[in-house]
Amino acid sequence: MKTGVSILGIFVADTAYLASRMPRIGETITGSGFSVGPGGKGSNQAVAAARAGSEVSFISRLGRDTFGEMALKTYAEAGVTPKIVQMDDLPTGAAFIYVNHENGENAIIVYPGAAGSIGVEDVEAARETIENSRVFVTQLEQPAAAAERALRIAHAAGVTTVFNPAPAEPFPESIFPLCDYIVPNETEAAALVGFPLPTQDDVRRAGDALLNKGVKTALITLGERGVLYHTEGHSVLVPAVASGPVIDTTGAGDAFVGGFSAALARGLSPVEAVRFGCATAGISVTRRGTAPAMPKLEEIEALLARGAAA
Ligand code: RIB
Ligand code: NA
């Protein structure tokens, strides 16, 4: 019987710097905070899905170093099953993250390190894990060839596929028909469809363009504007919710993808799963960091109940 969520992606150590603005070239500015913690989109999504109550396997590569140990400790604590190759000759990656200390906005440079060498052989080694899960999730921080192979295996086995095309890197068009759900943010959606999305009409047009490329359902995440659920004959904007003041939006997209996937694996309807994902993200933005900011199932359910009562 198929169960839980399997995720292919990368782990990196997030080094986050709080400041009032980005430095210009040649300039040094003084920041107001710093932290090091677990990050990487796929890894954040795995932690989010596990905390949201799902069985989760995470397929990746790490270095054999301090940051690699940070990753394994994170999975032991969150209850994520690691399907990981540790490399002797490549380091675990890291990300530079600027967080605006007034509004929580961010900008990121990510170096994937060992996870940049993930190939189709890693995916083949994890074939059974993928085939036995209810939902499979991947992104574009590791090579697209590995993402495509994994999506193909999942699709052929009748596993629900969730593709988060982040960061906005080029990938083969043959991936689109393998996607039950494609989950771009506004910038990524604009890059995929070739026009910007300032109005709600543009967002719907982008949804249509993604369906025309062969995906079953597009979920376009729009930050505080919510998430567009867009499929043949049904299009609805699910509003964003926040459980308190927004202090760090880094990893909010990962919280959404992880929460949404966990909810789908538990058998919630797609639109209910989108609401669940929005609540997961809405708690994560009130806390600093990415993986450490992911909420527990009880917290997500409490926020959803508050929304239903309002
Ligand atoms: O989506 C947020 C993540 O993107 C961060 O954790 C950072 O590591 C980058 O990969
Ligand atoms: Na956060």
Structure ipTM: 0.98
Does the structure show a pLDDT above 80 at 58?
yes
Residue 201's H or E segment, with its range, is: helix 200-212
* Tokens describing residue 232: 């043949």
Residue 296 · residue 305 · CB < 8 Å: no
CA 283 to centroid of ligand 2, rounded, Å:
8
Average pLDDT, the chain: 97
Can you tell me the mean pLDDT for 16-36? Answer: 96
pLDDT in tens, 82-125: 999 999 999 999 999 999 988 888 999 999 999 999 999 999 99
Q: What are phi and psi of 110, to 5 degrees?
A: -115, 130
pLDDT band at 229 (very low <50, low <70, confident <90, very high): very high
Domain boundaries, the chain: 5-22+33-309
Question: What dihedral angle (degrees, nearest 10) is formed by the CA atoms of 280, 101, 109, 121?
Answer: -20
- Establish whether residue 251 lines the binding site of ligand 1, counting it when its CB lies within 6 angstroms of any ligand atom: yes
In the prediction, which pLDDT does 310 show?
Answer: 64
The pLDDT, as a whole number, for residue 112 is 97
Q: 12 a known binding residue?
A: yes
Q: What is the mean pLDDT of residues 260-284?
A: 98
- Lowest-pLDDT range of 23-27, 105-109, 151-155, 233-237: 105-109
pLDDT band, very low/low/confident/very high, at 279 (cuts 50, 70, 90): very high
The pLDDT score that the predictor gives to residue 269 is 98
Q: Check whether the bond before 167 is cis (ω within 30° of 0).
A: yes
CB 55 within 8 A of CB 39: no
Measured from the CB, is residue 48 less than 6 Å from ligand 1? Answer: no
Tell me which fold the domain 5-22+33-309 belongs to: UDP-N-acetylmuramoyl-L-alanine:D-glutamate ligase (3.40.1190)
DSSP calls for 272-304: HHHHHHHHHHHHHTTSSSSGGGPPPHHHHHHHH
| Residue 28 is assigned to a ligand binding site | no
Residue nearest to atom 8 of ligand 1 (CA): 40
Residues with CB under 5 A from ligand 2 (ion): 248, 284, 293
Q: How far is the CA of 254 from the centre of ligand 2 (A)?
A: 10
User: How buried is 73 (Cβ within 10 angstroms: 0-12 exposed, 13-18 middle, 19+ buried)?
Assistant: exposed
Q: Which residue owns the Cα nearest ligand 1 atom 10? A: 40
> What average pLDDT does the segment 134-163 reach?
98
**Average pLDDT over every residue of 30-51:** 97
Per residue in 233-256, pLDDT (tens digit) is 999 999 999 999 998 999 999 999
Ligand nearest the Cα atom of residue 93? 1
pLDDT band, very low/low/confident/very high, at 260 (cuts 50, 70, 90): very high
Supply the pLDDT for residue 110: 95
Active site residues: 254
